[in-house]
């Protein structure tokens, strides 16, 4: 059955690599969620007719609600949601402004929460759904949350959201998170040891995980790792 996939932050970095990888299945419609729709349209045209750029502003609940209304009018059924968009701060706990932490939490945690709250009831009613949350080892308690304060806390919260939401979903709806590794993007920098394509590979795999596959788990390189 043809599926419709929505990827947030889909016009750059890991998100673009996810969209590009998914676009190879010409029976699927891939929605490239982006704030800059003009940029998204140019990039979507290169990938094929099954890729559509859609405006998706995650900076506030009101902006997001407006974006989702327009997406719903054109694409009433979303089968797969990839929460990829994210931002990073650079400070420690005491060095960070609370406003900066709130901004990072807003994009990295609250926006996925709003999107999941919007789409999961529909996935449940359709008896099919896949949610893929792009997290980070910096959000892992097991790895001692070694990143910037706001970013680490936001990804830890995203991990918790992944697990908790999965408990309320039927077997037909899978919700998982992944750590893509250190990837050469604007966020990761040029010295990172992975390409965007390598960072996207597990996310692409989770988008079509089998009906008997796990849910509520954190993955790295297709393997379950500790929270």
Active site residues: 151, 155
Cβ-proximal residues to 165 (8 Å cutoff; 6+ apart), any chain: 116, 120, 131, 175, 216
DSSP states of 88-148: -----TTTS-HHHHHHHHIIIIIHHHHHHHHHHHHHHHHT-EEEEEE--GGG-TTTT--S-
Per DSSP, 36 falls in state: -
Cβ atoms of 111 and 105 within 8 Å: the answer is no
- What is the largest distance, in Å, between two alpha-carbon atoms of the chain? 51
Give the whole-angstrom CA distance, residue 73 versus residue 126.
Answer: 18
Cβ atoms of 184 and 196 within 8 Å: the answer is yes
């Amino acid at each position: 059955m043809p599926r419709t996939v929505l990827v947030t932050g889909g016009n750059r970095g890991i998100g673009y690599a996810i969209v590009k990888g998914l676009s190879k299945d010409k029976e699927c419609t891939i929605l490239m969620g982006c704030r800059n729709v003009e940029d998204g349209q140019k990039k979507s045209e290169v990938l094929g007719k099954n890729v559509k750029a859609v405006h998706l502003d995650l900076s506030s609940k009101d902006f997001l609600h407006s974006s989702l209304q327009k997406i719903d009018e054109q694409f009433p059924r979303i089968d797969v949601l990839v929460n990829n968009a994210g931002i990073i701060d650079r400070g420690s706990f005491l060095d960070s402004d609370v406003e900066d932490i709130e901004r990072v939490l807003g994009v990295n945690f609250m926006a996925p929460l709003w999107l999941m709250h919007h789409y999961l009831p529909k996935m449940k009613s359709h008896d099919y759904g896949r949610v893929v949350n792009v997290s980070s080892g910096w959000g892992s308690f097991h790895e001692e949350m070694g990143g910037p304060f706001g970013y680490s806390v936001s990804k830890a919260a995203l991990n918790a959201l992944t697990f908790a939401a999965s408990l309320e979903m039927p077997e037909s709806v899978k919700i998982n998170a992944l750590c893509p590794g250190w990837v050469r993007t604007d966020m990761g920098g040029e010295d990172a040891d992975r390409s965007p394509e390598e960072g996207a590979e597990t996310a692409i795999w989770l988008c079509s995980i089998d009906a008997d596959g796990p849910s509520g788990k954190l993955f790295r390189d297709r393997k379950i790792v500790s929270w």
